[in-house]
Amino acid sequence: MAVLVGRKAPHFSETAVVNGSDIVDNFSLDQYLGNKYVVLFFYPKDFTFVCPTEIHAFQEKLGEFESRNCAVVGVSTDTAETHQAYLRVSKDNGGIEGVTYPLVADTNKTISTNYDVLAGEYDYDEEGNLTAEGEMIAYRGLFLIDKEGIVRHQLVNFFPIGRNVDEAIRVLDAWIHNETHGEVCPANWEKGKDAMAATNDGVAAYLASH
């Protein structure tokens, strides 16, 4: 598994569904550079079980992300048309109707590959035939990307394990706090709690007060 933290987020330009219904070509994170943070998350499949709970959870907290000047973008290896159909199905029937943030269609699997969250692997047999080992879908990857396009946090879960959206917000808050105040955030830090100066004196003062 590649560690992308501290590196430029891999570029992509692919089809996506935006505003809950509209298919657009050449969707890219470049539109956010210099302006917004991005939480980019991958999920395995449309029309499944854990995936809609996560997709709705991000939608429910979308205002929290937006208040922090952060865009939320989802990606799976489904087609844009499948995303669009999924968005037409009500939440009561297992769909994701009401989700408004972009859902990218990684149908050629290059985005999942470049972010190193693609579960399966391609290979060739002795006769030169293309084969695949495992299902070619994305693990539950999540990447926090800063305004300059640098990855500052990544998390990858196996298929059965849903992510904690509040934790994604906490990590975003920690990064913003560090950028704004130059302080580092200790274990279990949350917005509004004390952080500490990145010096020996600062750490000692923090530990002494806790």
> Residue 204: its pLDDT value, please?
57
Q: Which of 29, 40, 51, 117 is catalytic?
A: 51
Report the DSSP beta bridge partners of residue 73: 40
pLDDT score for 122: 85
- CA dist 81 and 147 (Å) reads 30
pLDDT for res 199: 79
| The predicted structure's pLDDT at residue 98 | 98
According to the model, what pLDDT value does residue 132 have? 87
Q: CA dihedral defined by 146, 151, 155, 159, rounded to 10 degrees? A: 100
pLDDT of residue 177: 97
Q: Tokens representing 147?
A: 């305004």
- CATH numbers and ranges of domains, the chain: 14-163 (3.40.30.10), 164-210 (no CATH)
Cα–Cα distance, 114 to 27 (Å, whole number): 16
- Among residues 140, 99, 139, 144, the alpha carbon closest in space to that of 119 is found at 139
- C-alpha 65 chain-centroid distance: 12
- Residue 24's Cα: distance from chain center in Å? 20
Is 51 one of the annotated active-site residues of the chain? yes
In this prediction, residue 1 carries a pLDDT of 66
Q: What is the CA radius of gyration of the chain?
A: 19
Positions of the chain with pLDDT under 70? 1, 200-208
pTM: 0.94
- Which tokens is 9 given? 């987020």
